[in-house]
Amino acid sequence: MNDKKNYGFTTTILHNDRRKGIEHGSLHKPVHTSVAFGYADARQLASVFQGKEPGFRYGRQGNPTVSALEDKINQMEQGVGTLCFATGMGAIGAVFQALLRAGDHVVSSSFLFGNTNSLWQTTMAQGVGVSFVDATSVEAVAAAINDNTRLVFVETIANPRTQIADLARIGELCRARGILYVVDNTMTTPYLFRPKDVGAGLVVNALTKSIGGHGIALGGSLTDTGAYDWTRFPNIYENYKKAAARQWGLAQIRAKGLRDFGASLAPEAAHHIAVGAETLALRMERTCANALALARLLEADQRVAAVYYPGLASHPQHALAGELFRSYGSLLSFELKDGIDCFDFLNRLQLAIPASNLGDTRTLIIPVAHTIFYEMGAERRATMGIAESLIRVSVGIEDTDDLLADFASALNAS
């Protein structure tokens, strides 16, 4: 293939393996299951270990199949480098573990994926200060920053209440203060939004969700966008300052986060995710259209008390979402009117499946306070704007009419 660089999103992903050359003319990067990689010349083994030439050493630090996926995610996010992990939490945990030290301070959105919130609690117990702020307001973020603030962490569209962080202004603030800006792009995916465009230095993607898309493999990734100047980051060890400064961050995360903690992505999972990623754009078009149609149906129904979806004009950040994102996402949440039992309602649905996970091809639905946000307790739920009756829907690719009919008949019987 020629080296034309400006292919569209899907074309780039579909042809990426082949452009790098694959044995036998294979169109997919094979699943390389070998844990070790042998070298005919022992000196070459040593020089790979010392980072003097490229190559694989041991499966925990890197694998050719995983590396082919890393390259695709990197293309999607237009980064300078990407690392994959066994799960999205593995990726987030690696950031905290590799980059933060006791005495450091972090500003985090308070509208967070539940397990990220739980991980911050652990980090706090280990001596890192965390200020939780309303990230829809750049002023709140600015007010929480102090001299020890090492990073600001936000999600694009918060799960499950769909608040949208003031992404661009927080990016400007971080740039001015020399603070690392970490954006969890899981809910938008690089198809709807590239955090690099608002100055994010590191981008998290839970590959388990829409990128893999079929709910058959766990995975996570971290992309360094090149936007952050690592010479301003005080926690980089001398060992990882050998290459150009733009590689310092990932070098340290690869060693301290991936190699030492070992949440490495398995090659079989990388293959599943890579196949799923080929249709990310097509699936997102369909799930976003379905989500908007469903949000409108719910909002118009008198048995529904509230609907949270960025595509509705009633959403507080509707205009912002329109400016930032290609579309409004596949996730919505809603509350039924008092007196309607949410479990009975869920049990009346024939297509939407009561299950955790999101970004699946199938529509999944879950009562939030009773499940994924149960452990944190009512008080913290209230500060996150999560009503006890909140229901989250991850909208799939079902035929729109079938999906709408399923919800309409469950509501009609309420």
Binding site for ligand PLP (CB under 6 A): 87-89, 113, 116, 155, 159, 184, 186-187, 206, 208-209, 218, 220
Rounded least distance, CB 121 to ligand PLP, Å:
15
H or E stretch at 6: none
Rounded least distance, CB 209 to ligand PLP, Å:
6
Rounded least distance, CB 235 to ligand PLP, Å:
23
Rounded least distance, CB 218 to ligand PLP, Å:
5
H or E stretch at 130: strand 129-133
- Eight-class DSSP state of 369: T
Rounded least distance, CB 330 to ligand PLP, Å:
11
Q: If we measure between CA atoms, which residue out of 214, 266, 272 comes closest to residue 90?
A: 266
Lookup: tokens for 157: 């569209």
Rounded least distance, CB 402 to ligand PLP, Å:
25
Task: Output 74 or 189, the one with its CB closest to ligand PLP.
Answer: 189
Task: Output 218 or 410, the one with its CB closest to ligand PLP.
Answer: 218
Task: Output 141 or 187, the one with its CB closest to ligand PLP.
Answer: 187
Task: Using CB positions, name the residue nearest to ligand PLP.
Answer: 88
Task: Output 116 or 287, the one with its CB closest to ligand PLP.
Answer: 116
Whether residue 156 contacts residue 193, with contact meaning beta carbons closer than 8 Å, is answered with yes
Task: Output 130 or 251, the one with its CB closest to ligand PLP.
Answer: 130
Would you call 321 helix, strand, or coil by DSSP? helix
The answer to whether the Cα torsion of 220, 120, 183, 306 is positive or negative is: positive
Would you call 243 helix, strand, or coil by DSSP? coil
Task: Output 106 or 304, the one with its CB closest to ligand PLP.
Answer: 106
Would you call 180 helix, strand, or coil by DSSP? strand
Rounded least distance, CB 116 to ligand PLP, Å:
6
- C-alpha separations of 145 from 132, 139, 152, 277 in Å: 11, 10, 9, 37
Q: If we measure between CA atoms, which residue out of 285, 307, 315 comes closest to residue 393?
A: 307
Q: How far apart are CA 406 and CA 314, in angstroms?
A: 24
* Contacts (Cβ under 8 Å, ≥6 apart) of 43: none
Q: If we measure between CA atoms, which residue out of 352, 334, 332 comes closest to residue 342?
A: 334
Pinpoint the alpha helices (H) of 325-387.
342-348, 377-383
Task: Output 208 or 252, the one with its CB closest to ligand PLP.
Answer: 208
Rounded least distance, CB 86 to ligand PLP, Å:
8
Task: Output 201 or 215, the one with its CB closest to ligand PLP.
Answer: 215
